[in-house]
Amino acid sequence: MKRTASPGLDSAEDPHLELMRAVRLCHPGWDILRRVTFSADMKADPPWRDWRSEVFLPVLRPQLERACLAAATADWRGLAVCDQALDAALPSVAATASRREGVALMRTYPAPTAERLWTKYGGLVATGETPGHLVIALAVRAAAFHFPLAAVVAAYIFLEAHGGLTARGLAAWMEMVEHCLPADGPAVSPQIKVA
């Protein structure tokens, strides 16, 4: 993907920079990510309406928030609990895709030497002790880079938008991020809110 700003601009000048930084660091292979749990419903307005209300808000968001807290406190057992909860709550096809992409993320982009939680969680995924859902893998990677919860939530929505609305492009992905961010969720930086 091309850069979203000219050299020298900071996130206050280009609202997409903070979000894209989170996306690139949390998932270096984001641009080849396939559909995960979101499949656009072109009969709905907007096409993510049902996914937001039926999958993201009740299932993905709570586990993402719990996983971010667990990752921030280096609680690998808490991460495994979140992972198992997702496995039980997601529809079968979505769970399979989420595990596929989470396992690929952990396998393809290994942890830096000093990241013990990332290494521990990656080991649990590799041995099959935990399913390895994308949401949880993203939370682990985000903790390593010290991203706030709002940035992680926005980055996850962006990844789902990219996978489910690939042909629609960046403007549609950003629109989905803006519309899917929960109003009662964590404080969202102005850069992400206007993205």
Question: 32 pLDDT exceeds 70?
Answer: yes
Sign of CA dihedral 178, 184, 185, 190: positive
**Is residue 7 domain-resident?**
no
Distance separating alpha carbons of residues 140 and 170, to the nearest angstrom:
25
26 inside domain: yes
Whether 165 is covered by a domain: the verdict is: yes
**pLDDT score of 11 more than 60:** no
The confidence band for 166, taking pLDDT boundaries of 50, 70 and 90, is: confident
Q: How many CB atoms lie within 10 A of CB 174?
A: 22
Q: For residue 72, what is the domain's CATH number?
A: 1.10.4190
H helices of the chain, where?
16-26, 49-51, 61-72, 76-89, 92-108, 116-126, 134-144, 149-164, 170-180, 190-193
In a 3-state reduction of DSSP, which class is residue 171?
helix
* d(C-alpha 8, C-alpha 21), whole Å: 15
Q: Which residue has the tokens 């939680």?
A: 117
Which percentage of the chain shows pLDDT scores above 70?
A: 86
Assess contact for 155 and 26: CB atoms under 8 A.
yes
CA distance 105 to 183: 29
- Residue 51's pLDDT band, with cuts at 50, 70 and 90, is very high
* CA angle centred on 95, ends 89 and 101, rounded to 5°: 140
Has residue 107 been placed in a domain? yes
Name, in order, each residue with C-beta under 8 angstroms of 44's C-beta and a sequence gap of 6 or more: 50
Whether 80 shows a pLDDT value over 50: the answer reads yes
Domain holding 29, by residue range, is 16-193
Give pTM, 2 decimals: 0.86
Of the two residues 160 and 186, the one the predictor is more confident about is: 160
Domain assignment of residue 9, yes or no: no
Per the structure, how many domains does the chain have?
Answer: 1
Distance CA 65, CA 69 (A): 6
